[in-house]
Structure 1
Amino acid sequence: MTRAHLDKQPQDVAAMFDDVAAKYDRTNDVLSLGQARLWRRAVADAVGAVAGQRILDLGAGTGTSSLPFLEAGADVVPCDFSIGMLTEGKNRHPELALTAGDATRLPFADESFDAVTISFALRNVQDHEAAMREMLRVTKPGGKVVICEFSTPTWTPFRTVYTEYLMRALPPVATKVSSNPEAYVYLAESIRSWPDQPALAAELQQAGWTKVAWRNLTGGIVALHRGFKAP
């Protein structure tokens, strides 16, 4: 079985997600203790898609995260670079326009989307700062970005418990429910090495996004970052 490492070689990351595609959504629900669905709803609310808008959902995997935008009447483009995830998604959701693409070299024209969102996938991009610049490029002036990603718990005692869960409890649980438990060792490692909320906000600003802010979910286990492209 394939797992990625913290150098995040694209071929390794893609192969790892190909391996876990069939059970990915179910595994996430189990490992997040059901919070994953609440986080997806928070993303949909933050994007606030309406009929007639065009939304880019990066790192969309099987397309589960794209469904709220479709239900809102928006034209949603789910994009991912794991062919295995896209294939699984097409089997489940043939109504979605699933598209293969690399977040650092998006196959879309400048100023194509009213909003761009990425959930639990920016952390897996080798050059996530380049991805932030690409997201800005394809967003219309006045449009927004919403990033949902694992982050740093705000309460220090809980942060310690959470870190222990990631490194000790998560891999054994993943062994029971995932088709590739090693992928969840990478998950734990990548979460621990990811920038905290202020650091990610600063990177968004450096990429050119304005009015950058964030909101913590589940005590900071997850954070929603938002920014706008200048009109």
Structure 2
Amino acid sequence: MTRASLDKQPHEVAAMFDDVAAKYDLTNDVLSLGQARLWRKAVARAVDARPGQKVLDLAAGTGTSSMPFAAAGAYVVPCDFSVGMLREGRKRQPWMPFAAGDATRLPFADGVFDTVTISFGLRNVRETDAALREMLRVTRPGGRVVICEFSTPAWAPFRTVYSEYLMRALPPVARAVSSNPDAYVYLAESIRDWPDQPALAARLQAAGWRDVAWRNLTGGIVALHRGTKPAG
């Protein structure tokens, strides 16, 4: 079984997700106590996909996160760098145009997409700032980015409880439901290591995004960041 290290070597992260692809969506639902579905709905509302729009869904895994955009009539490209995830996605949604791609070197032309979104994947990219710049590059002027990622709970007492859950409760639960429980130990560590809401907003701005804002979901366990590509 594969477990990536916190220096996030791309081949380690990709191999880790290859290992967990078959049960990934089920495991996420269990470990998030059912909140994962609510978070996906919040992302769908923030993206607000419309017929005729082009949406790039990065770290799309098996394509579960892409379904609401397609249902809204948008042309959605699910993109991931895990071959195992893509293979599983193509089994489930063979009609979707799955694409293999590294978030820091996207295989798309400049200004192609109306919206670029990534849910629970930016944290696993080794070069976060390079990924944010690439998302900007492939977005049309006036287009938007929507990032859903684990973050820092706003209420200090809850923050302590949450940290204890991540490191103590999550691994044994993962052992019960995941094909690679060690992968979820890495995921817990990567969540604790991830910047808080203002820090990620600052990185979005530094990458060139404007009108950057965020809102907390589930008390800040997850944050939804948004930004717009300058029109000029």
TM range (shorter): over 0.9
Corresponding residue of 1:60: 60
Residue 149 of structure 1 and its aligned partner are, at CA, apart by 0.1
Deviation by residue 1:46-74 (Cα, 9 ceiling, x = unmatched): 00000000000000000000000000000
Corresponding residue of 2:175: 175
Query: Which secondary structure state, in structure 2, belongs to the residue aligned with residue 141 of structure 1?
Result: strand
Query: Which secondary structure state, in structure 1, belongs to the residue aligned with residue 213 of structure 2?
Result: strand
Residue 95 of structure 1 and its aligned partner are, at CA, apart by 1.4
| AA in 2 matched with 1:221 | I
Query: Which secondary structure state, in structure 2, belongs to the residue aligned with residue 157 of structure 1?
Result: helix
Number of residues paired by the alignment?
231
Corresponding residue of 1:153: 153
Unaligned runs of 5+ in 2: none
| AA in 2 matched with 1:121 | G
Corresponding residue of 1:69: 69
Corresponding residue of 1:143: 143
Q: Which runs of 4+ in 1 moved over 3 A?
A: none
TM-score, length of structure 2 as denominator length: 0.99
Corresponding residue of 2:119: 119
Deviation by residue 1:81-140 (Cα, 9 ceiling, x = unmatched): 000000000000111111000000000000000000000000000001100000000000
| Percentage of pairs with the same residue | 78
CA distance in 1, matches of 2:185, 2:98: 28
Residue 23 of structure 1 and its aligned partner are, at CA, apart by 0.2
Q: How does 1:79-118 map to 2 (within 5 A)?
A: 79-118=79-118
CA distance in 2, matches of 1:198, 1:125: 19
Corresponding residue of 2:129: 129
Corresponding residue of 2:184: 184
Over the aligned positions, Cα root-mean-square deviation in angstroms equals 0.3
Query: Which secondary structure state, in structure 2, belongs to the residue aligned with residue 51 of structure 1?
Result: coil
| AA in 1 matched with 2:139 | T
| AA in 1 matched with 2:65 | S
Corresponding residue of 2:209: 209
Unaligned runs of 5+ in 1: none
